């Protein structure tokens, strides 16, 4: 079964608002990553947070990680119409050579 | 995109025929992955490779085989295509654990 589960499945907001997406996972991890996918395109890496980190920022993105709750959140501040996309969390397990396991994603729609 | 090229980009094939999808990288990253993406399921891992001739199964490996005879190419074969294998297939690579993954643009496969 899939490791990560994003919540909500879909999110609609207005430009300028903040968007928060959550990810829960099941087993111990080395890191958790967030990816973005525009319709019909490949995935693009946004941010990686290691298991010993609690918060990370990149531009308008803020990611938190709570390993005790096995959960992460992605906050996009001051959303723009161009942020409209699907967002996926992915986890890398602690065993050497383990692959990235993705969740089902959150579809974000930002209207102007 | 770490120089990942997937071919073909689109393919329509008949049930029962063998199909091979190719993933070619120019960066010589050690790890390569094949995922399939279906509505409601996000990305699911099919097979992955952690070196030449070193491969392992993912969550949805039944009906698929892979080969990696050289660093730059990772082939995914559907031995006898079924309609349930209609999907968008993505290849990805990473240079090492704890690093971001780079994705190809995807192959849309339709089995009729």
CA A18 to chain centre: 14
Residue A58, classified by CB atoms within 10 Å of its CB into exposed (0-12), middle (13-18) or buried (19+), is exposed
Q: Residue B26 CA to chain centroid, in angstroms?
A: 16
Instruction: Print pLDDT tens along chain B (112 aa).
Output: 558 999 999 999 999 999 999 999 999 899 999 999 998 888 999 999 999 999 999 999 999 999 999 999 999 999 999 999 999 999 999 998 889 999 999 999 999 9
Each residue's pLDDT tens digit, A54-78 = 999 999 999 999 999 999 999 999 9
Q: Which of A33, A42, A97 sits opposite B90 (nearest CB)?
A: A42
**Contact yes or no for A41 and B105 at CB 8 A:** yes
Q: Give pLDDT tens digits for A31-43.
A: 999 999 998 889 9
Residue in B closest to A101 by C-alpha: B45
């Amino acid at each position: 079964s899939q490791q990560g589960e994003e919540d909500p499945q879909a999110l609609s907001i207005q430009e300028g608002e903040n968007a928060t997406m959550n990810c829960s996972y099941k087993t111990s991890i080395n890191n958790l990553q967030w990816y973005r996918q525009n319709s019909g395109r490949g995935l693009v890496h946004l941010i990686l947070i290691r298991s010993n980190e609690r918060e990370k920022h990149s531009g308008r993105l803020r990611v938190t990680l709570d390993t005790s709750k096995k959960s992460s959140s992605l906050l996009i501040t001051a959303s723009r119409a161009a942020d409209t996309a699907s967002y996926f969390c992915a986890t890398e397990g602690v065993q050497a050579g383990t692959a990235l396991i993705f969740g089902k994603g959150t579809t974000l729609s930002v209207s102007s | 995109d770490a120089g990942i090229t997937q071919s073909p980009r689109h393919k329509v094939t008949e049930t029962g025929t063998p199909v091979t999808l190719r993933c070619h990288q120019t960066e010589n990253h050690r790890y390569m992955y094949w995922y399939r993406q279906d509505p409601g399921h996000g990305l699911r891992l099919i097979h992955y490779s952690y070196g030449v001739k070193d491969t392992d199964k993912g969550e949805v490996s039944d009906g698929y085989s892979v080969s990696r005879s050289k660093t730059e190419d990772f082939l995914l074969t559907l031995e006898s295509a079924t309609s349930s294998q209609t999907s968008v297939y993505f290849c990805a690579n990473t240079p090492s654990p704890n690093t971001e993954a780079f994705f190809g643009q995807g192959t849309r496969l339709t089995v009729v």
